[in-house]
Amino acid sequence: MQSLWMLFAAFAFSLMGVGVKLASDLYNTGEIVFYRGLISVVIMWVLLSSRGVSVRTPYMLSHIKRSVFGVTSLMLWFTSISLLPLATAMTLNYMSPVWIALILGASAALAGTGGNADRRLVLAILLSFAGVICLLQPSVGKDQLTGGLVGLISGMFTALAYVEVRQLGQLGEPEGRIVFYFSLVGMIAGLAWMLLEGTSPHTWYGAGLLLAIGILATLGQTAMTRAYKRGNTLLTANLQYAGIVFSSVWGMLIWSDRLNWLSWLGMGLIIASGIATTLMRARQGTDAKPTPATPVKSPEAEVHPEV
């Protein structure tokens, strides 16, 4: 099942989060965003060139929309982290699957489509989000309403970015090209932010962290793009919550974080929801009758059938 690529993406992003947390003691946010984007741009350029795939695209507007949504979400999320407790900021950003479900639900209602299977997936997403609340136990004080609004909007932009990824996939765009343009826009935004905040001196340790962040971001973005492009959108969105579980494990192993019973309950809800939705989609795939379809191909698909 192609949606299971989201589990690998969540694992890579959780490791990237560890790197960001460690690197934040040495670099400002703009520097981390810039180097993350720069490393990813170089990696994707080399990979695309080695496969003979051009970065030119007939769908530039869609790429710009996806990249702007994604980078805006990233910037807002970092801002919310500075204004809110980390658990609260993460919870609000992880509302993106809920927003995706609402966006797709509204689209299905307008089109007169949709069914019980999608409704069950929406319920599973809500169950996972309940698990996130139990695990992170967020709180917002009266003086944190601005930060809460910023975090909420960051989740909305994340959802819009993922919907654009899905649409680009349906147009036949290669995953590498989608990641390339997102990384390029992120690099430009990070450069502007870095020039405003200033630069920090490099050390071998810091450079190693930045390199690891860039590589992990590239792996995570590629796997996430493939999951949204080829898999079921709602199932992929729900599996995204696995990142919270992975991050909690790293917190316990590296920073000796302690979880109470409510946190363990939340982790269990997330895992149970992920397993249930995966089995649900697998059963539907077994029961469904294959129907012929004509795939949409990008120009590079003629040269690279795997695209």
Each residue's pLDDT tens digit, 94-121: 888 888 888 877 777 676 665 555 678 8
What is the chain's Cα-based Rg? 19
Q: What is the dihedral of CA 74, 99, 240, 193, to 10 degrees?
A: 0
Identity of residue 22: L
Q: pTM value?
A: 0.84
pLDDT of residue 104: 79
Q: How many CB atoms lie within 10 A of CB 187?
A: 21
Q: Which region, left, alpha or beta, applies to residue 22 given φ > 0 means left and ψ of -120 to 50 means alpha?
A: alpha
pLDDT of residue 260: 87
In the chain the first and final C-alpha atoms are separated, in Å, by 17
DSSP state, residue 290: P
pLDDT of residue 6: 95
pLDDT of residue 223: 96
Q: What is the dihedral of CA 163, 166, 171, 173, to 10 degrees?
A: 110
Average pLDDT per block of 10 residues along the chain, 307 residues long: 91 90 89 95 96 92 93 85 74 84 77 64 88 84 80 91 90 93 94 92 96 96 93 90 88 85 91 85 59 44 34
Largest CA distance in the chain: 60
Contact, 185 vs 55, CB < 8 A?
A: no
pLDDT of residue 36: 94
Q: 197, 216, 206, 255: which is closest to 26 by C-alpha? A: 206
Q: Which region, left, alpha or beta, applies to residue 260 given φ > 0 means left and ψ of -120 to 50 means alpha?
A: beta
Residues 6+ apart with CB under 8 A from 244: 90, 94, 132, 135, 136, 267, 270
Contact, 220 vs 39, CB < 8 A?
A: no
Contact, 13 vs 214, CB < 8 A?
A: no
pLDDT of residue 292: 44
**Helix-helix angle 175-197:204-230, to 10 degrees:** 140
Identity of residue 46: V
Task: Extract the tokens encoding 109.
Answer: 């209602």
The span from the CA of 169 to the CA of 158, in Å, is 17
pLDDT of residue 5: 95
